[in-house]
């Protein structure tokens, strides 16, 4: 695979320069050394991989940006992979604080996405494994297809929804994930804001660090379904709702086998 190494002070010394140096076709990779990159990056080349120096320590390679009009990372191509990388919008509040906007096809493993509202905006296809996702509200904003497995979600404010589904027939599956309400003792968190036309949210064998309301807000015109595997921990309170469906053991086994 064609590979370019990027290091602070070297050549190339930015991700945008490295992307411009990749051949037009075929699989290619950008290998980052430890360091910080202050830039907004747009990936429009398919079959592109960006990797930090250590999958176990994504903080060693950080992509940082603070312009409210531009996300830190935009992905508009097929078959894009990230690993061992921190992507952070350093703005602390307000609209326009997305970390990543994904209209293409992304696979992210052992990455950290840190921001404020609408940390990850997904209209394409995205799969996250072993990632850390932190923000104040709508850590996942899904209008496409999203799968998150063994990820950690941290809410930085109380009574804000962790994820949202909107648009036409979005799909989201969260499996083996952990949810935390950072520095919010004895306060509850809400789960999902659902305004989509059709679509589904599946919550399978996740966990949470505190009693929570399990609240789901369905818009008046929403026909989205929420399927779940039951109690996530002590104090769970699942509301009664027509669109809220408890999975059977057979259904859980079928989903796990996918």
- The answer to whether residue 94 scores a pLDDT higher than 60 is no
Predicted confidence (pLDDT) per residue in 232-247, tens digit: 655 555 556 667 788 8
Per-residue confidence (pLDDT) for residue 154, from 0 to 100: 85
Number of H helices, E strands in the chain: 2, 27
- The answer to whether residue 186 scores a pLDDT higher than 60 is no
Quick one: how far is CA 58 from the chain centroid?
Answer: 15
- The answer to whether residue 211 scores a pLDDT higher than 70 is no
Tell me, yes or no, whether 109 lies in a domain.
no
Tell me, yes or no, whether 188 lies in a domain.
yes
CA–CA dist 145, 142 (Å, integer): 7
Considering only residues 175 and 81, tell me which one the structure prediction assigns the higher pLDDT. 81
CA–CA dist 118, 133 (Å, integer): 11
Tell me, yes or no, whether 249 lies in a domain.
yes
Tell me, yes or no, whether 119 lies in a domain.
no
Per-residue confidence (pLDDT) for residue 3, from 0 to 100: 95
CA distances from 226 to 86, 173, 201 (A): 30, 10, 5
Strand order, beta sheet including 2-6: 2-6, 28-32, 48-51, 80-83, 105-109, 125-129, 145-149, 171-175, 200-204, 225-228, 244-246
- The answer to whether residue 188 scores a pLDDT higher than 60 is no
Q: What is the DSSP string of 207-253?
A: EESS-----EEE-TT---EEEE-S--STT--PPP-TTEEEPPHHHHH
On whether the CB atoms of residues 104 and 71 are closer than 8 A, the answer is no
Mean pLDDT of the chain: 84
Tell me, yes or no, whether 207 lies in a domain.
yes
Angle at 81 between CA 137 and CA 256, to 5 degrees: 70
Q: What percentage of the chain has pLDDT greater than the value 90?
A: 45
How many domains, in total, are found in the chain? 1
Tell me, yes or no, whether 97 lies in a domain.
no
Nearest Cα to Cα of residue 82 among 43, 117, 119, 25: 43
Per-residue confidence (pLDDT) for residue 241, from 0 to 100: 62
> What's this model's pTM, rounded to 2 decimal places?
0.90
What is the rounded average pLDDT of the residues 166-195? 76
Considering only residues 238 and 178, tell me which one the structure prediction assigns the higher pLDDT. 178
CA–CA dist 140, 225 (Å, integer): 17
- The answer to whether residue 104 scores a pLDDT higher than 80 is yes
Tell me, yes or no, whether 64 lies in a domain.
no
Residue numbers of the domain that contains 240:
136-258
Tell me, yes or no, whether 243 lies in a domain.
yes
On whether the CB atoms of residues 212 and 235 are closer than 8 A, the answer is yes
């Amino acid at each position: 695979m064609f590979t370019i190494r990027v290091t602070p002070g070297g050549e190339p010394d930015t991700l945008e320069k490295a992307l411009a140096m990749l051949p037009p076709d075929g699989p290619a990779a950008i290998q980052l050394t430890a360091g910080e990159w202050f830039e907004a990056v747009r990936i429009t080349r398919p079959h592109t991989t960006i990797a930090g120096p250590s999958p176990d320590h994504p903080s060693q390679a950080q992509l940082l940006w603070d312009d409210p009009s531009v996300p830190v990372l935009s992905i508009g191509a097929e078959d894009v992979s990230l690993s061992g990388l921190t992507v952070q919008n350093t703005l602390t509040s307000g609209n326009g604080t997305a970390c990543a906007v994904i209209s293409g096809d992304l696979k992210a493993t052992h990455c950290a996405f840190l921001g404020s509202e609408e940390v990850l905006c997904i209209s394409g296809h995205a799969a996250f494994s072993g990632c850390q996702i932190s923000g104040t509200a709508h850590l996942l904003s899904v209008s496409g297809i999203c799968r998150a497995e063994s990820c950690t979600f941290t809410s930085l404010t109380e009574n804000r929804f962790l994820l949202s589904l909107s648009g036409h027939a979005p799909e989201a599956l969260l499996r083996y994930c952990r949810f935390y309400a950072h520095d919010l003792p004895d306060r509850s968190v809400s789960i999902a804001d659902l305004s989509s036309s059709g679509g589904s949210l599946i919550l399978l064998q996740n966990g949470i660090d505190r009693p929570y309301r399990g609240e789901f807000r369905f818009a008046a015109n929403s026909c989205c379904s929420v399927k779940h595997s039951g109690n996530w921990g002590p104090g769970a309170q699942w509301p009664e709702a027509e669109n809220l469906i408890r999975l059977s053991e057979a259904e859980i086994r079928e989903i796990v086998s996918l």
